[in-house]
């Protein structure tokens, strides 16, 4: 079993979210844990270049040139991290009654047509 812990806790040790995540992590038994820290591994945004490349590959079914594959490499890596996990927990602070932009950009990056199917996810937020 594999658990993916996705975290965005930029306040580090002063973060209530980090304290909740640490308590959660201490309760995980018999599962390999992989962590994705969005503060240091920032997801790509769907800007003009990678959005066009994504549409070309995933909607039009066209082959990508090597440079286009490089454009999609971080999104593809993060998607594979998500897909390979049995359990996903996401920890982030609540900003203005919403999720931080980096967390939203992760969702945009990994929820890809025909590639991502999620059956269970836990959100840890304060």
Confidence (pLDDT) at 5: 93
* pLDDT value at 98 more than 90: no
Name, in order, each residue with C-beta under 8 angstroms of 19's C-beta and a sequence gap of 6 or more.
none
How large a percentage of the chain has pLDDT more than 70? 92
All domains of the chain, ordered by start, with CATH? 2-125 (3.40.50.360)
Six-digit token pair at 98? 């919403």
| CA nearest neighbour of 3 among 84, 76, 77 | 84
Dist. CA 64–CA 62, nearest whole Å: 6
The pLDDT tens digits for 71-80 are 999 999 999 9
Point out which residues pair with 90 in neighbouring strands. Answer: 6, 123
Dist. CA 20–CA 93, nearest whole Å: 11
Average pLDDT, the chain: 87
Helices within 1-126 (DSSP H only): 16-27, 48-54, 66-83, 101-110
What is the Rg, in whole angstroms, of the alpha carbon atoms belonging to the chain?
A: 16
Map residue 106 onto helix, strand or coil: helix
């Amino acid at each position: 079993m594999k658990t993916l812990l996705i975290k965005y806790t930029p306040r580090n040790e002063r973060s209530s979210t980090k304290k909740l995540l640490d308590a959660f992590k201490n309760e995980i038994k018999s599962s390999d844990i992989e962590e994705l820290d969005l503060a240091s591994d920032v997801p790509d945004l769907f800007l003009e270049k990678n959005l066009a490349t994504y549409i070309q590959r995933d909607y039009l079914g066209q082959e990508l040139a090597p440079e286009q594959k490089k454009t999609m490499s971080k999104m593809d890596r993060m998607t594979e991290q998500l897909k390979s996990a049995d359990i996903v927990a996401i920890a982030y602070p609540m900003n203005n009654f919403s999720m931080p932009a980096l967390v939203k950009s992760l969702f945009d990056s990994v929820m890809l047509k025909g590639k991502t199917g999620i059956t269970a996810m836990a959100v840890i937020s304060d």
